[in-house]
C-alpha cells in the first residue's frame, strides 16, 4: 500500500520551476521596457513596476530549489531587459561605444529600482530559506 506523503514532502515540489520563473521575469521586464520606451521614450515607472513585480513574484512562487537563483537574478534581468528594449525601440547606429551609451543612458536612473528589488528579493528569499530550514529541523526524526 502507498504511504501518504508528509506535508513538507508534498510542498517541496510546489511552485514554478526555476527554468520557467527566471525567463518569465525576463519576458515581463523586456515587455515593460519596450512598452515604456514606446510610450514615454525612457525607462520609467512602467518598466520599474513590471520589473519589480516580476522579480518579487518569481521569488515568492519559485520552487524551493530555485529560490537562491531568483534572489540574485534582478540585476542581470534589468540590464538585459533595458538593453533589449533600447535596441528594439531605437535601433542604435554606430560603433560599440554608441551602443553602450544608448543602453547605459536609460539604465543608470534605474539603479535605485534595481538595488531595492535585489534587497527585497534577498529578504524574501532569505526568509523562505530560513523557514524551510526550520521546518526541516522541526520535522526531522529524533534519534
Q: List the pLDDT tens digit at each of the 143 positions of the chain.
A: 444 444 554 555 678 898 899 999 999 999 999 999 899 888 899 999 999 999 999 999 999 888 989 998 999 999 999 888 888 887 767 788 888 888 888 889 999 999 999 999 999 999 998 988 887 776 555 55
Residue 8 lies in a domain: no
Residue 64 lies in a domain: yes
Residue 51 lies in a domain: yes
Residue 11 lies in a domain: no
Domain that holds residue 127: 17-138
Give how far Cα 117 sits from Cα of 1, 28, 72, 112, 138, Å. 48, 15, 10, 8, 31
Residue 41 lies in a domain: yes
Residue whose entry in the numeric block shows the C-alpha cell 519576458: 27
Q: What's this model's pTM, rounded to 2 decimal places? A: 0.80
Residues 108, 80 contacting (CB under 8 angstroms): no
Instruction: Give me the pLDDT at residue 11, please.
Output: 55
Count of helix runs (H) and strand runs (E) in the chain? 7, 0
Helix (H) or strand (E) holding 82: helix 74-90
Instruction: Give me the pLDDT at residue 5, please.
Output: 47
Residue 24 lies in a domain: yes
Provide the number of structural domains found in the chain. 1
Residue 5 lies in a domain: no
Residue 21 lies in a domain: yes
Amino acid at each position: 500500500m502507498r504511504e501518504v506523503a508528509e506535508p513538507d514532502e508534498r510542498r517541496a515540489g510546489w511552485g514554478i520551476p526555476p527554468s520557467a520563473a527566471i525567463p518569465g521575469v525576463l519576458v515581463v521586464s523586456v515587455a515593460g521596457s519596450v512598452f515604456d520606451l514606446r510610450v514615454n521614450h525612457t525607462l520609467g515607472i512602467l518598466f520599474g513596476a513590471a520589473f519589480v513585480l516580476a522579480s518579487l513574484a518569481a521569488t515568492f512562487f519559485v520552487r524551493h530549489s530555485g529560490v537562491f537563483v531568483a534572489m540574485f537574478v534582478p540585476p542581470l534581468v534589468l540590464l538585459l531587459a533595458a538593453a533589449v528594449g533600447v535596441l528594439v525601440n531605437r535601433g542604435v547606429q554606430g560603433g560599440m561605444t554608441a551602443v553602450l551609451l544608448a543602453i547605459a543612458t536609460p539604465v543608470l536612473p534605474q539603479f535605485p529600482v534595481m538595488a531595492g528589488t535585489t534587497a527585497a528579493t534577498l529578504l524574501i528569499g532569505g526568509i523562505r530559506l530560513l523557514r524551510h530550514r526550520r521546518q526541516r529541523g522541526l520535522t526531522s526524526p529524533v534519534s
